[in-house]
Amino acid sequence: MKKEVIIDTKRGKVTEESKDDLVCLKGDKFNEDSNFIENLCILIKSDDIGEKEYPLKLGGYNFKLFLGSFCDDCTEDILIYGESGGSGNYAIANIYHYDDGKLLEIFNTDTFSDKYKYKCRYLNDFKLELICDKLQKKYIMDISTINKNNLSEIYDMDGKIITDTDPSVSYVNTVYPLVDLDSNIMRIEAYQRIIGITNSSTLGEVISTISLEECKTKVIEQFAATYGEDVSELSRGNDLKEDIISKLPDDVVLINLNKFGGRNGLIKADIDGDGNEEILCAYKYKDVQYLSAFREIDGVVKFLDNIDGTGYDISDLIIDKIKQKGGESIVVGWRIGGIWSVLDILDFKEGKFIKTLKGDKLNYSKIELCDSSNSRGGKNIALWSHETGEAYNVQIYTLRGEVLEKTYKDDKDYFLRVEDYYKNLINKSRETPQYLYYLIQAQCKAGKKKEAYDNINRALKNQNPFPSVQELKRLRKSISK
C-alpha cells in the first residue's frame, strides 16, 4: 500500500526576493524496504500564495532538494536531484522556476541529453571520434590507455578496428551545481559517459557547463576526456620498457598489455608468489606471438623466459588463482579469428613458464572467471562460444590436473548473469526466436523454471520457433516435472 512521505525540505526566496518560503519535496513510497519514490510533488508555503502543490511526473531513487539562483540573482530556483536506478543509473535533475503562481521547468537532464546527441565511431590507431551537430563540435580522443579487456574488444594489436559496433554517449549520469563568483548566478556541470562495447565499459566522459540565465539553456563550455595516468610511474615505465626492448630481437612488434590492466604496455605482478614482481611483455616476431617474463633487481632488468603462442594477437590475459592448490596462473587467449581465440593456462615457477593444459585446446569467443563453490579454492572459467548474431553457448569449466572439465555445480549463480545479458540484448535490439531460446536456456540453468516455462510458451507462438517446435516442447516437458 502506498504511503506519502516527505523527502526533503528547504527554506529560501522562491516566490519573491524578500520572502522566506518553505519548499517541501514529497512523494509516494510503496515499500518501506525500498527507497524508490514516485508521484513526486513540490509543496510551496508562502505568506502571499499560502500553500500550493505542484505535481511532477517523476519517479526514481535517492531524491534530494536544492535551492539556488540559476535564472537570476533575485530569487531562487528549485533543483530536484535523484537517480533512475537500473544498469544505466542515470541522473534525474530537473530545475524549476517560480513565475506568477506557475512552476516552470527550465532544465531537464533527459531533455538535455536528447537535444545534444552525438555521432560516435572508432578510428584506427586507438582513437575515438565524437560529433555533436547541435553544438557544431568534434572531438578526437586517444583511448589507448583504457584498462583491462575493453581495448582488445575494439582493436587488434596493430590498432585496427575489429568490432562492428559503435561507441555511444550516455544520458547525463551526474550533475553538480556551480557558482559563478562574478555574478553569483549558479550553473550546472553535467557529466555523460562515453560507453564502449558493453554498458559497463567507460571510455571517457563528456563534461558540459550549462547556463540557465533568463530561463534559457545554453552550453557555455564543453570538453571530452579520458582518464589520466600517474606521471612518475609513466616515466619509470618508459625507461623500463626501453630496457626490455633492448633485450628482445630486432624488428619485434610489441603487443600493448595496457588493455589487460598493465601500464606502459607491460604487466608487473608477483605471479609465482615469491615476493618479487615479474614483468610480462608480449610481442610478435616473424609472425609468431611470444609472452616473455623479466625481473628487475636493484635497477637491473634480467630476462627470465618466454613462451610462444598461436594466432595473430592476444585477446585475453588474466592473472588469477585458477587451481585449487598453489598460486596464481596466467590465463591467455591467443586470437585466431575475428571472434575466436585459443585458450592457454600457464604457470610460472622458478623463472620458467609451464603450460598447464595438455591435449586439445579449447576455442572460445569470450572468457570470464567466476567464483567456485569448491571449499578448496580456485576459480571456474566461463567460456562463451559464438552461435549466431550476439548469442553464445556458455559453459563453465574447472581445472583438474592438466585438463578443463565441464562443471554444473555453479550454474545457478552464474547463469543469473547470463539471463541478464539476454534480457538486455533483447531490450536494446529486438526479440528474435534465437535470442529468446538462449534466454530460456539461461533461465533453466539459473533455476528459474517458471520464467523459462512462460518464455517457452511465448516462443512456441512464433511463426518460426527456434530451434524447433519439438525441441521447445521437449524442454518444456523436462522443466515441468
pLDDT recorded at residue 245: 84
Residues 150 and 340: their CA atoms lie apart, in Å, by 16
Q: Name the packing angle between helices 433-445 and 449-460 (round to 10°).
A: 160
Residues 295 and 351: their CA atoms lie apart, in Å, by 9
Cα-based distances in Å from 72 to 217, 384, 416 = 13, 56, 51
Choose between 116 and 361: higher pLDDT.
Answer: 116
Return all residues near 198 (Cβ < 8 A) that are at least 6 apart: none
The tens digit of pLDDT for each residue in 115-162 reads 999 999 999 988 999 999 999 999 999 988 776 567 778 887 668 888
Binned at pLDDT 50, 70 and 90, residue 263 comes out as: confident
Q: Is 102 helix (H, G, I), strand (E, B) or coil?
A: strand
The tens digit of pLDDT for each residue in 209-218 reads 999 999 999 9
- Return the minimum-mean-pLDDT range out of 155-164, 338-347, 441-450: 155-164
Burial bucket for residue 105 (CB in 10 Å: 0-12, 13-18, 19+): middle
Q: Give the predicted TM-score (pTM) of the model.
A: 0.56
Choose between 75 and 247: higher pLDDT.
Answer: 75
Binned at pLDDT 50, 70 and 90, residue 275 comes out as: confident
pLDDT recorded at residue 59: 86
Mean pLDDT of 286-307: 88
pLDDT recorded at residue 375: 60
pLDDT recorded at residue 157: 64
Instruction: Reply yes or no: is the peptide bond before residue 467 cis, omega within 30 of 0.
Output: yes
Binned at pLDDT 50, 70 and 90, residue 272 comes out as: confident
pLDDT recorded at residue 238: 62
Q: Is 412 helix (H, G, I), strand (E, B) or coil?
A: helix
Other CB atoms within 10 A of residue 141 CB: 18
Residues 74 and 280: their CA atoms lie apart, in Å, by 62
Answer whether 107's CB lies under 8 Å from 97's CB.
no
441, three cell numbers: 536456456
- The span from the first CA to the last CA of the chain, in angstroms, equals 36
pLDDT recorded at residue 376: 66
pLDDT recorded at residue 148: 53
Does 304 score more than 70 pLDDT?
A: yes
Does 230 score more than 60 pLDDT?
A: no
pLDDT recorded at residue 146: 76
Candidates 3.30.200, 1.10.10, 2.40.128, 3.40.30; CATH matching 3-112: 2.40.128
pLDDT recorded at residue 248: 85
- Return the minimum-mean-pLDDT range out of 31-35, 280-284, 298-302, 425-429: 31-35
Nearest to 63, CA basis, from 13, 110, 24, 112:
24
E runs forming strands in 14-132: 21-29, 36-46, 50-55, 59-68, 77-83, 91-99, 102-108, 119-123, 127-132
pLDDT recorded at residue 96: 96
| Rounded percentage of the chain residues whose pLDDT exceeds 90 | 47
Q: Residue ranges of the domains in the chain?
A: 3-112, 116-225, 231-409
Mean pLDDT of 160-171: 89
Residues 123 and 360: their CA atoms lie apart, in Å, by 37
pLDDT recorded at residue 370: 87
Binned at pLDDT 50, 70 and 90, residue 76 comes out as: very high
Answer whether 381's CB lies under 8 Å from 396's CB.
yes
pLDDT recorded at residue 226: 87
Q: What are phi and psi of 231, to 5 degrees?
A: -65, -45
The C-alpha torsion from 308 through 255 and 334 to 400, rounded to 10°, is: 70
Mean pLDDT for all residues in the chain = 87
The tens digit of pLDDT for each residue in 367-412 reads 999 888 776 667 899 999 999 888 999 999 998 888 888 988 888 8
Does 471 score more than 60 pLDDT?
A: yes
pLDDT recorded at residue 436: 93
For residue 161, what is the DSSP state? B
